[in-house]
Structure 1
């Protein structure tokens, strides 16, 4: 039994390491063309209502790529055979990135017309890069279901968050916390970790987490702060202040707070 548990832990650690390696490959070698996550509702509006004039995308976003590879009608490999599917995704990526061909694209044919012609990446990626990229796309949904908090630091760009909030039609939720805050840790464990909370957050909010021991609140929120952690500030997508919620909350009460601000 112990050997089985250790084997499972090893596999999980291997996949997590490979996912992070694949994420680094994507960020370092692909992100200049492919933007990060954009809400699916916004993507649909962009392409099918605004003819790409809203976002002006020249290539699919990372979540569009993950969806196309894993879930679209043109998905790669057999979902019931994970090991073989990893190999098939790896081979597809090698084939397409070395010799891009629109006729071999797995993207929606109705939106291909908006994209620039992709240049070849021949010689830019190693065999390990392709393996890690394949695992990155296979694990993308899993590692992006959790709380996606943007950590605030001295280099924080407020304009970038406002642009992201507008593009994705989301509110901004600023979470004032501290590593020594017992009730913050309690909320992280008992509230933020719950699927229902995560879905509401990911769909409707950009979550900004501020360690008050190290950094200052963004968007001129200091005047509303009562030096209590946790504290939550809700802003609209122009970063205009709406409400403050002080203290720790149960899952039910926090869900009510999130829903209350959507009305």
Structure 2
């Protein structure tokens, strides 16, 4: 009988749990210490090359925590039993947040020395919030897929890029963006993540993504740049400018742009 009651309680909690609700819990209760996302490449550089002086992190980021919980050598629960795993993750979060202990941490032991001692969060989260937080970490990877599945060339050796474009019969697409550009982030999330867009780009273009706040546009494109991000410049395999597209585009319109330049 107790098992039946427990199962019903679990199902009810699980049905009302969601990634978005867990994200709100993280933002409201955890983000004062934990940043939301930093690229793994930059995190590795920070800890293993810069002795944490690049980012000065005092706590792991959300993506670091999600990796530690779901995929690291110290991962929690059985990946083949999602229901029981959710319970185990929830219980771990409760035990650790109520009584933080570095010896009970699942984070990389080599970087624990950089983190501050975490204060107890006893009484700050409800049972529902723990459930939602567990779901947030479990589904984090699915909801934060990066457009990096698109092949991006960031080394602007112009002669080498032209040679590669000619050898592979590809066009060159220069994407002018910036970290502060809202519409760039919107396109990254809604357009570049699409499999059809990725397939068209990888098959027909060499994509050069340029943060114009930190790097000059290649191929003398500066004279055509109207200081609007995002902007897209399509060049042929000889690096001659064919067309310029200024502004943000929907998935359908951007696919049409890619297609209209392919012979």
| Unaligned segments of structure 2, at least 5 residues | 1-10, 149-175, 203-208, 212-224, 234-242
* Higher Rg: 2
| Change in 2 beyond 3 A, CA 1:26/1:251 | farther
- What secondary structure is seen at the aligned counterpart in 2 of 1:250? helix
Distance in structure 2 (CA, Å) of the matches to 1:205 and 1:68: 31
Query: Residues 37-116 of structure 1 correspond to what in structure 2 (within 5 A)?
Result: 37-116=37-116
CA RMSD of aligned residues (A): 4.1
C-alpha spacing 1:175/1:134, structure 2 compared with 1 (3 Å)? closer
Unaligned runs of 5+ in 1: 1-10, 149-169, 178-183, 207-221, 235-242, 257-263
Shift of 1:18: 1.2
TM-score for both structures, normalised by structure 2: 0.58
Aligned partner of 1:119 in structure 2 is 119
Q: Is the 8 A contact 1:47 1:111 kept in 2?
A: yes
Matched, 1:18 2:24: no
Note if 1:143 corresponds to 2:148.
no
Closer/same/farther in 2, CA of residues 101 and 109 from structure 1, 3 Å limit = same
SS of residue matched to 2:18: helix
- Counterpart residue number, 1:232: 231
Q: CA deviation at 1:249?
A: 3.8
State the partner residue of 1:130: 130
Question: CA 1:89–1:144 in structure 2 vs 1: closer, same or farther (change >3 Å)?
Answer: same
1:193 corresponds in structure 2 to 194
Once residues 57 and 118 of structure 2 are traced to their aligned partners in structure 1, the CA distance between those partners, rounded to angstroms, is: 13
User: How many residue pairs end up in the alignment?
Assistant: 183
The structure-2 alpha-carbon separation of the partners of 1:99 and 1:129, relative to structure 1 and needing over 3 Å to count, comes to same
Question: Match for residue 250 of structure 1?
Answer: 255
Q: 1:107 to 1:146 in 2, by over 3 A?
A: closer
**Distance of aligned partners of 1:23 and 1:196 in 2 relative to their CA distance in 1, 3 Å threshold:** same
Tell me the TM-score normalized by structure 1.
0.58
SS at match of 2:178: strand
